[in-house]
Structure 1
Amino acid sequence: MKKFLALAITFCTWICFHSQNTYAFFGSFNWDKNTEGIYVYELDTIKGKLSKVTSYTGISNPSFITLSPDGKYIFACTESKTENGGSVSSFEFNPENKSLTFISKQKSGGENPVYLTAHKNGKWLVNGNYTEGSVSVYPISEGGKIEPYVQNIQFKEGSINPDRQERAHIHSTVFSPNFDYLFLPDLGADKIRVFKFENEKNQPLQEAEIAFTKTTLGSGPRHFTFHPNGKFAYCIEEMGGAVSVYSYEDGKLSNLQRIYTHSEKYKDNFESSDVYISPDGKFLYASNRGKENNIAIFSIQNDGKLKTVGYQSVKGKHPRTFNLDPSGNFLITANTGTNNVAVFKRAPETGLLKKVGKKIKIRNVSSVQIRKY
């Protein structure tokens, strides 16, 4: 009897394990809503192979995408870089029949929406508009419908580079680990702005005790992430080619380190783009565009500071974004300049990356999110 129960438990475990699927979602600059814009692929979590599942046609320039906390809905920045345009849209993904269905669309409050994030309670969506330098907050109703924004806050001041910092340019919108603060890296103003997020209020963005943290002048802060332990934060600078490291506590950032993402060979190539931390909290990855086109790999020390480990070519050009799968075993890059996606296997002990599978061609691919169902 014991042997039978052991076999039954093993079989059930096998079924549960193999019934889980990991999907990669890609956004793009399609420039024509009559062509595919959002793509869904299944990731083979053994070999790293990507297999196309479905796509969506009927929207223009879904340049950045994010998922709802339960993974049921996809939210996309749509009509990005579209004159007199700019919107955010929602879709339902059904992993059982592998379908993608349009739900709703709302004005973004700016011409060039570039980043979306959803609150953990699934009731709020926040969008950053790059061109005008603004942030918009939307309620999410039942069924994943985006309601009109209840707040649209505009920023004005720029910084020292007249060509790229003539005014504010919000480049990402990131919740704190407890979802009680919202951080807004402003490339145009060389600031990381911060608001309290009081999700029970009709207008949840409220003034924080410290409204912003200044970054190095001319650095152009772009994307931002927190360490899994909630004690450290990391901001990648598009124009400065560096990652700034901060300690974090209750809405406040304190600078610990600033380290370049570029190798000595490309020390003048200041065009960094995205940043993520492995789920185990041991390594940080940062993407470089321009001449270098690679992922910089850093080990994270106990004090939160970074130590350079190495660099991995993305096997393409202009990695606008990348992401890690939930297990931390794979890293996927969206190489906009060469219209391709590359998959890398991650060594958890060293943090190093190795190219696996075949490159996937997606025209003007610009964003990637990965989730297990």
Structure 2
Amino acid sequence: MKNFIIFIITFFTCSNFYSQNTYAFFGSFNRDKNLEGIFVYELDTISGKLSKITTFKGILNPSFLTVSPNGKYVFACTESKTENGGSVSSFEFNPGKKSLTFINKQKSGGENPVYLTVHKNGKWLVNGNYTEGSVSVYPISEDGKIEPYVQNFQFSEGSVNPDRQDRSHIHSTVFSPDFKYIFLPDLGSDKIRSYQFETDSNEPLKASEYPFTPTTLGSGPRHFTFHPNGKFAYCIEEMGGAVSVYSYENGKLNNLQRINTHSEKYKDDFESSDVHISPDGKFLYASNRGKENNIAIFSIQNDGTLKTIGYQSVKGKHPRVFGLDPSGKFLISTNAGTGNVVVFKRNSETGLLKKVGKKIKIKNVSCVQIRKY
């Protein structure tokens, strides 16, 4: 009996010690530092239910978040949509204490930061500034502190739409699968810019043999992602309402396909926004704002091209950013226009989505990042 009790105690101790939790980090356009700006929820990976863990005040308009490779730090674009403002901020996340603690911030090097990413070694942060069309590169200390940027490249040229493309507008910063290159979709110039990334250099951005890939004029490239196999890349085009498909090898993109994210009943005023691929590499999801407010669902063929499967309403308005949990079971949509977060369960066989749980209210919610601990 004594041995049995010891076994039970050991079993539960080990189970708790090795238990894993999945957390969803949300940003918002809070407009006021006295209001909560970042929200952390725990995702129940059985039911899809979200439970609030902690929040953070004292920052303005965290428009986009990313999590460090080791999960210890959360980085945010802050002071977005603030005239003559713009910063990037660092926070420490402690899953044991379920706490989020501010570390520091640095100037973004341009107005309206909208996207940032971390190198896989955790030593570099790359930020894209939309309004002034620039990219900034920051060293990250071992304690998660962001150091002043060491590179800041400004771009100027625009494209064919004078209202939206008067100048460059960098909308995302995405590393290649091997982290040797970084890609910068530029909505203003209809280009996907690229640089080599030399992580051991004091100034890691180096000129690439292929400095940019042109996109369809007036398409407005926005967000960008790679297939898990590393052979294909996908760019969602905000103004064109389409996803462009590329083969990829050693810093070079070759166009394979361009397919609409919208159904035939929508003819103009597209506001396509975000794009993600299921962890199994079988399906691609793309969000449409504006008139549609849905997620377009595509199956990915063996040659990387896409086939439209259907559309899922996000049960709200303006799905600016969405995310897939690491297991691929759930998709979480952040609907900025209606200030709600909706969780969908994903059918791994068909790719289709089904709403689960209750909507979460977060005013002006801007983005989500999901990570397992």
| Cα distance change of structure 1 residues 160 and 93 upon mapping to structure 2, 3 Å threshold | same
Q: Equivalent pairs: percent with the same residue?
A: 82
Q: Is the 1:232–1:245 contact (alpha carbons within 8 Å) kept by the matching residues of 2? A: yes
Moved more, 268-277 or 120-129: 268-277
* Equivalent in the alignment of 1:332: 332
Q: Is the 2:238–2:271 contact (alpha carbons within 8 Å) kept by the matching residues of 1? A: yes
- Structure 2's unaligned 5+ residue stretches are none
| Cα distance change of structure 1 residues 14 and 266 upon mapping to structure 2, 3 Å threshold | farther
* Equivalent in the alignment of 1:260: 260
1:88 aligns with 2:88: yes
C-alpha separation in 2, matches of 1:269 and 1:189: 19
**How far off is 1:16 after superposition?**
6.3
**How far off is 1:18 after superposition?**
7.5
**How far off is 1:15 after superposition?**
1.9
* Equivalent in the alignment of 1:149: 149
Q: Is the 1:273–1:319 contact (alpha carbons within 8 Å) kept by the matching residues of 2? A: yes
Q: Is the 1:319–1:333 contact (alpha carbons within 8 Å) kept by the matching residues of 2? A: yes
Counterparts of residues 1-373 of structure 1 (less than 5 Å): 15=15, 19-373=19-373
C-alpha separation in 2, matches of 1:265 and 1:342: 25
Q: Deviations over 1:28-87 (max 9, x none)?
A: 100000100000000011110000000000001011000000111000000001112100
Q: Is the 2:329–2:348 contact (alpha carbons within 8 Å) kept by the matching residues of 1? A: yes
Deviation above 4 Å: which 4+ runs of structure 1?
10-14
**How far off is 1:17 after superposition?**
9.6
| 3-state SS, counterpart of residue 15 of structure 2 | helix
RMSD of Structure 2 on Structure 1 (CA): 1.5
Q: Is the 2:239–2:269 contact (alpha carbons within 8 Å) kept by the matching residues of 1? A: no
Q: Deviations over 1:283-319 (max 9, x none)?
A: 0000000010000000000000000000000000000
The amino acid of 1:105's aligned partner reads K
**How far off is 1:11 after superposition?**
5.1
C-alpha separation in 2, matches of 1:245 and 1:18: 40
State TM-score, norm by structure 1: 0.96
C-alpha separation in 1, matches of 2:121 and 2:18: 29
Residues matched between the structures, number: 367
Q: Is the 1:262–1:269 contact (alpha carbons within 8 Å) kept by the matching residues of 2? A: no
**How far off is 1:13 after superposition?**
11
**How far off is 1:12 after superposition?**
7.3
**How far off is 1:265 after superposition?**
1.7
C-alpha separation in 2, matches of 1:233 and 1:82: 32
| Cα distance change of structure 1 residues 316 and 214 upon mapping to structure 2, 3 Å threshold | same
C-alpha separation in 2, matches of 1:17 and 1:168: 49
C-alpha separation in 1, matches of 2:269 and 2:328: 28
C-alpha separation in 1, matches of 2:13 and 2:188: 51
Q: Deviations over 1:106-165 (max 9, x none)?
A: 000011000000000000000000000000000001210000000000000000000000
- Structure 1's unaligned 5+ residue stretches are none
Q: Is the 2:76–2:88 contact (alpha carbons within 8 Å) kept by the matching residues of 1? A: yes
Q: Is the 2:233–2:248 contact (alpha carbons within 8 Å) kept by the matching residues of 1? A: yes
| 3-state SS, counterpart of residue 116 of structure 2 | strand
Q: Deviations over 1:225-248 (max 9, x none)?
A: 000000000000000000000000
| 3-state SS, counterpart of residue 15 of structure 1 | helix
| 3-state SS, counterpart of residue 228 of structure 2 | coil
Q: Is the 1:221–1:236 contact (alpha carbons within 8 Å) kept by the matching residues of 2? A: yes
The amino acid of 1:189's aligned partner reads S
Q: Is the 1:234–1:244 contact (alpha carbons within 8 Å) kept by the matching residues of 2? A: yes
**How far off is 1:268 after superposition?**
2.5
